[in-house]
Amino acid sequence: MSKKIWFGTDGIRGHVGTTPITAEFALRLGHAAGRVLAKSEGGVVVIGKDTRRSGYMLEAALQAGLISAGADVRLLGPMPTPGVAHLTQAIGACAGVVISASHNPHHDNGFKLFSARGEKLGDGDELAIEAALADAPTLVAPERLGRAARMTDADERYLAFVAASVPSGFRLDGLRIVLDCAHGATYKLAPRLFSMLGASVTAIGISPDGLNINRGVGSTEPSALQAEVCNQRADLGIAFDGDGDRVLFVDSEGELLDGDDLLHILAIEWHRSGRLRGPVVGTLMTNMALELKLAGQGIAFSRANVGDRYVHQRLHETAGVLGGEASGHVLCLDRAGTGDAMIAALQVLEALSTSPLGAAQWRCAMPRFPQHTINVRYTAGTRPLELAQVIAARFAAEQSLAGRGRVVLRASGTEPVIRVTVEADDAALVQRIAQTLAAAVSSAA
């Protein structure tokens, strides 16, 4: 398989004003994606975005490129990434595009592409688009140019889909919730959704100005939510990231529940109710405590590479329905075809409503194994993980941790960094082995 130039683990991403996050590249990308994905004259491509100011520029250029290839465009405006995925499938579009850099700051942006099934593109489609990018754009005949229209009912259709992910009688009456929308794509929809279901809602991170997305708020910076939950004496807090595909919870004591905690709650409750199918899928970075907790309940667990697209692939391979990452990507594939933060939040709230344990009790029920990660930079083009001294150091570390923990050495998908992660039941042992391994990698880098 050819090596991809532009597509990374989650679409195309970079700094605004630097290729590939320029109007010129967005125009070319739109044309290439239209040629590959629209497939026929008048094929529809859906475009949504988060609240970054640069989204206006990139949306206009991407739209022009798609139209020049003969594709029709449906503009959604600010819309969570999973909302774009759902609407792409719901209206029978050929593809969907989200203009977003997810949890990154405003000066970054990017493009996430979805297939007609509302799933992230496979490697084959991404390689085909990259091949089309290398060709000179060829404008279709004037009578074959596409057209653009704004989809005025997008919000209502997506909210109805999310609300339908829980039973029709499910209510949140009497529950006091603080929502943190990260000044991002959920800023209008999430407060409406949870209020509609009867919760008493206080919302922060709902005043986007194009520059404040993820700044001091959201799932990557949950301290503001934790403080507000305590200040409001709320029952729960829920944090989303900028594009609405990550979710974290805060319990009534102001303590954080990450994606591993949420998978723990859902896996146990779904197993009890008979809803769980296949193994629960985490990643190489999922805390070992979750794996052991699930094993104790007779629940199979599988690890995929880091990244929600790889969790999604493994779930399909194993006929599973539940997976995710500690960062807050939680996939409930019996309710949505991709990771959807609002749907995941509702599934957790539904599980908590039938559980004898509250969120704080669930958090305490899964003490974490100490985990430490050291990032070691290396010279681009080299392969330090394949060198003998690194292989030997890793083997020695794994021997030391046998039955007590594990080692993960992986190259970053976005920068020349080896991430050295050690996890075990002893914090001092974790630190010592991580430093020894990092030194071995550094000497080889």
Whose CA is closest to 83, among 58, 50, 110? 50
Beta-bridge mates of residue 323: 281, 331
- Residue 274 tokens read as 């008979």
Compute the distance between CA of residue 128 and CA of residue 285 in angstroms, rounded to an integer. 31
Q: Which residues neighbour 238 within 8 Å (Cβ) at sequence distance 6 or greater?
A: 177, 178, 179, 180, 190, 194, 225, 247, 248, 249, 250, 345
Q: Pick the catalytic residue from 68, 102, 219, 302.
A: 102
To the nearest 10°, the Cα dihedral for 209, 245, 154, 35?
Answer: 100
Residue 145 in 3-state DSSP?
Answer: coil
Structure tokens at 340: 């959807």
Cα(26)–Cα(112) distance, rounded to whole angstroms? 12
Report which DSSP code applies to 370: P
Indicate the burial class of 107 (C-beta count within 10 angstroms; 0-12, 13-18, 19 or more): middle
**Catalytic residue check, 219:** no
CA distances in angstroms from 220 to 103, 105, 246, listed in the order given? 7, 11, 9
Q: Residue 82, SS3?
A: helix
- Residue 152: CB atoms within 10 A of its CB come to 10
Taking residue 132's Cβ as centre, other Cβ atoms within 10 Å add up to: 20
Cβ contact 332:315 at 8 Å: no
Q: Report helix, strand or coil for 384.
A: helix
User: Active-site residue numbers?
Assistant: 102
